[in-house]
Structure 1
Amino acid sequence: MTTINLFLLVTTLASGLIAGLFYSYSCSVNPGLGALSDANYLAAMQSINRVILNPVFFFSFMGTLLLLPLSTYQHFGTGSRFYWLLAATLVYAIGTFGVTAFGNVPLNEALAKADFSGASAQELAAHRLRFEIPWNRLHAIRTYASVLSFMLVILACLTPIDKH
């Protein structure tokens, strides 16, 4: 196996892991959190947002952001494979990383600063409403983008290199 193919394999793994994380979160965590009371929901999201910032998460999330353009560059001049990887890079950089960095993260940071001790039921409900709806919309976008990016990487892997 060549270094380029090994690098593409690691890129595929990282992009698959992050797509799987966001997909599974959409299918299980969000519905589970949605069933919680306002106070429990807000506390759970604060906790999740703290613990997800770990090396395993960063390998797939930041790793994909670095590996995709490097894999794309390595496949410059290979025909369709290059274009699949370029599309995967753009979709991930804008739709997954960009949406997370400029959408979900600011919401997470605002939630982290909030102190709900002593908050009334109405205040908890209002804060949850301001957080949950936009956060879930943004999460859906980054989930679709990460899955699409992963599919584009798979298409690149399945596409023979043009030797022209």
Structure 2
Amino acid sequence: MTNFTNITLGFTAISTALIAGLFYAYSCSVNPGLGKLPDKEYIAAMQSINLAIINPVFILSFMGTLILLPLCTYLHYARPFPARFVLLGIASLIYITGTFGITILGNVPLNDTLASYDIKAASINEIADQRIKFEVPWNRLHTIRTVAAVTALSLVIIACLYDHKNS
């Protein structure tokens, strides 16, 4: 295995861990904390968080993992298929569909809808309805992408620990 392959595997593990950790932290602290806010404050907080999360550090790790996982899988390709290739391939599929796909096709459209919602022009009942329309599906999707990210990370860690000489 080349140094480039080893370095790529290391960066893949780090980027996957950063995303899994971010989503896990949201699940354990951010979402429960936000859930205790009154409706108007909840929507305002989520609008603020959704703007703040779009930053170079997040984009680099989120998109970096999307690129690094398949690249790392490719770098471990051989016949017969070694265990690292299989583990990284499965991790890639899980991340691409379960983490990236759910985010882009599920969470982002909900975020976009919430971003255009005018709290100041809405009644208390309209705000409560908007929260339900957003919070319930967003948290469900977030749970799915978190499980996917942690599963992908687990597979990457196993691939890192796997003795590639005997695979």
TM-score interval (norm. to shorter): over 0.9
The 3-state SS of whatever aligns with 1:117 is helix
Measured on the aligned residues, the alpha-carbon RMSD in Å equals 1.3
Larger mean Cα displacement after TM superposition, 85-94 or 110-119: 110-119
CA distance in 2, matches of 1:101, 1:150: 19
Q: Which runs of 4+ in 1 moved over 4 A?
A: none
Shift of 1:114: 0.9
* Residue number in structure 2 paired with 1:132: 135
Structure 1: runs of 5 or more not aligned:
none
Contact 1:4–1:71 (Cα < 8 Å) also in 2:
yes
Shift of 1:118: 3.0
Shift of 1:96: 0.2
Shift of 1:46: 0.3
Shift of 1:159: 1.1
Give 1:115's match in structure 2, choosing from 115, 118, 127: 118
1:3 aligns with 2:4: yes
Task: Give TM-score scaled by structure 2 length.
Answer: 0.95
Among all aligned residue pairs of Structure 1 and Structure 2, give the percentage whose two residues are the same amino acid: 56
Shift of 1:160: 1.8
CA distance in 2, matches of 1:109, 1:148: 27
Structure 2: runs of 5 or more not aligned:
none
CA distance in 1, matches of 2:67, 2:107: 20
1:147 aligns with 2:114: no
**Letter of the structure 1 residue corresponding to residue 20 of structure 2:** A
CA distance in 2, matches of 1:131, 1:60: 25
CA distance in 1, matches of 2:127, 2:39: 6
1:50 aligns with 2:48: no
Deviations 1:72-112 (A, max 9, x none): 00000160010000000000000000000000000000000
Contact 1:79–1:162 (Cα < 8 Å) also in 2:
no
Task: Give TM-score scaled by structure 1 length.
Answer: 0.97
